[in-house]
Amino acid sequence: MSFGTLPNALVVIAVVVVVLARRLSWSELENSDTDVWRGPLLLTGVGIYQLYDRHTGLGVVDVVLLVIGTAVALVAGTASGRVAQVERRAGKVFFRLGLPGLGIMVAYLVIRIGLAGVGHLLGASVSGGPALMVSLGANLLTQSLVIQSKARRDAEEYSTR
């Protein structure tokens, strides 16, 4: 690991820890939803910027690994969002991932880190930090979209009772 990838690794680890801790406990889903979207959008944006800034020519292996990593992120985000628990309390919506969601997130992270290792072995130039940031951001954005959809659907059901 070079000195340049160490900050990326630390950012990814810090974001994973904060997001998992926050999403495992009950959190209010605000009306504006900015709290749910801000972190994933920022993470994705930084990852895309770093990919663009550092790598002007992507090889076939790079593109294949980015596509696979994004596909795995989208599937895991959808799955963890579907198993997330959504509750209505005093007119407010709360959500958390729970243990099934944690299991899906851990499996996703293991697969994604494995892809980074494969990319490193194959000589891919984007297998590290920026690709991990984009993938994790895509995962969390998808998860947020599914959770918000569940919350809206549950709110509509609750209001028609």
Point out which residues pair with 87 in neighbouring strands.
94
Average pLDDT, the chain: 81
pLDDT at 83: 95
Tell me the pLDDT tens digit for each residue of 15-60. 778 877 888 888 887 655 666 677 788 888 888 888 776 666 677 8
SS3 (DSSP) at 2? coil
Tell me the pLDDT tens digit for each residue of 130-149. 888 889 889 988 998 898 88
Q: Number of C-alpha atoms within 13 angstroms, CB side, residue 63?
A: 5
Tell me the pLDDT tens digit for each residue of 60-87. 888 888 899 999 999 999 999 999 998 8
Question: 3-state secondary structure string, 103-156?
Answer: HHHHHHHHHHHHHHHHHHHHCCCCCCHHHHHHHHHHHHHHHHHHHHHHHHHHHH
pLDDT at 43: 83
pLDDT at 126: 72
